[in-house]
Amino acid sequence: MSRLTGVGVSSGRASGPVARVADPLPEPSATPAPAEPAAEAARIRPAAEAVAERLFERAGRVEGDAKAVLETTAAMAMDPALSSQAEQLVTGRSLPAPRAVYEAANGFAEALRAAGGYMAERARDVQDVRDRIIAELVGATPPGVPGLDRQSVLLARDLAPADTADLDPSMVLALVTEEGGPTSHTAILARALGIPAVVAVRGVLAVPDVVGAVVDGDSGEVETSDQEVPVQAAERAAPSEWNGVGATADGKPVKVVANVGSGADARAAIAAGAQGVGLFRTEFCYLAAGEEPAVETQRAAYHEVIAPFAGKPVIVRTLDAGADKPLAFLDMGVEPNPALGVRGLRVAFDRPDVLDRQLEAIAAAAADSGAEVSVMAPMVATIDEAAWFAARVRAAGLPRAGVMIEIPAAALSAAEILGAVDFVSIGTNDLAQYAFAADRMMGALAELNDPWQPALLRLIAEVGRAGRQLDKPVGVCGEAASDPLLGGVLAGLGVTSLSMAAAAVPAVGATLAKHPLAAFEQAAQAALAAPTAAHAREAAKSALA
């Protein structure tokens, strides 16, 4: 057997025969030129609509986050901007329709990838839509998970969210991908389905004659074999039963809330029982905008997401964009190192009018929503920045101002920053990326972005300690919160709310209710003292056994 190591993202150990997920279709040729470009261009929109229709059909058979993922992918397929761009490539450059779709989608994906962070992770979704439309145009089988006639371990270069959303956990023993990372939708949905998963297993697809595999979603180890491996399914816990109240077994409140960016996300969060929203990513409302949306346009977009949470807390993050997340109307120019440049709140220092109009729109949406709306800023590094933002929030008539802790300097200055604002929320995805100098989109660096890394936990502990001293809320809205075991550890570090993808809400809420806060504090101390991420995970598990 060959032994490889990746990043375990969904707990459990399973083994069995391997089923490979087909790679995308080959890159379409730019020749021959179509004899009738107008007729060739006219094929694109019906193909996209057919793809969207099938995705909507699949969405109708599932609920919660899986439904939201499939609906979002279907909406991407129907995006008129994508079809129009592809049609122009056919009529303007005489490209065949498949090649035109390929180039148009790649342009959209590259823009998202350049944006970094959460936006970059959506580039994979665009590529998935691209491949499905191309398959429709050439009459080929669309890419994705093959039909399974026996229980199998899925082996793939990567999995698009739409591939993962409606997997049958009775047939899929485990997931192994060569790419991806701990914050991917594959990781989130695998945990929700109770399927062991390991991502970023470099070289696994190059191992010859793989017939069977043993997968350990805790250690991240994958053993492949050129012989049959007995089927052993992971022991799956019964579906999480949660009463909807986020609290430890001894009644210590820990809110279990959701990360959202659209109306579909909001509906999935409500269906999952989320107690509110810990992160509303407002930049989704700007992505297709060639110019800054009017205040009323913004208000309507925000209201669609906020209104379903009447009577519940909603934390709205102001625009997280800039040189590394380009929006046409900002015209930020080119920077040599945009991930460390003018982004997030830093944009507002030069363009305070953009921030003020967004705050005006948020206040208007909040006023007629019935939700308890707070606002927080991304990419805050110092107390002066935090105080500047808080003053503008209060001037806009919004009652609560907070900031994101994504930069190590902010974590180390958490007590001072909390003195200037009402709450903080830790973005573990970016905090890990900056603490380890490791691009979270690179599969080769996925291990450094493992949220169990002790150095990351120690930064979180600093923030939790400051929150306790000042009696102010400390949230986590990175995907670290979606790991039920880690969620308990975070509570033990002083975190008072956990925000995650909707699919993870019930399991995290149920796990919090299993142990008193003192037990989670003991698990947290064990994890802090561990030398590696793998040891931290095992130490916490042992402490709670």
- Among 377, 383, 372, smallest CA distance to 412 is for 383
Element (H, E) at 13: strand 13-20
- Among 180, 120, 174, smallest CA distance to 444 is for 180
Contacts of 106 (CB under 8 A, 6+ apart): 127, 130
Clarify whether 515 is annotated catalytic.
no
Clarify whether 535 is annotated catalytic.
no
- Enter the tokens of residue 78: 């129907």
- Enter the tokens of residue 454: 């002790």
Residue of 285, 303, 477, 515 with catalytic role: 477
Query: Do 450 and 182 contact (CB within 8 A), yes or no?
Result: yes
- Among 216, 249, 256, 248, smallest CA distance to 234 is for 216
Q: How far is 342 from 352, CA to CA, in rounded Å?
A: 13
Residue of 185, 285, 303, 515 with catalytic role: 185
Report the 10 Å Cβ neighbour count for 334: 8
Residue the block writes with tokens 């129009």: 84
Query: Do 521 and 501 contact (CB within 8 A), yes or no?
Result: no
Burial class (CB in 10 A: 0-12, 13-18, 19+), 116: buried
Query: Do 14 and 74 contact (CB within 8 A), yes or no?
Result: no
The residues facing 215 across adjacent strands are 14, 222
Strands (E), 337-471: 372-377, 401-405, 423-426
Residues forming the active site:
185, 477
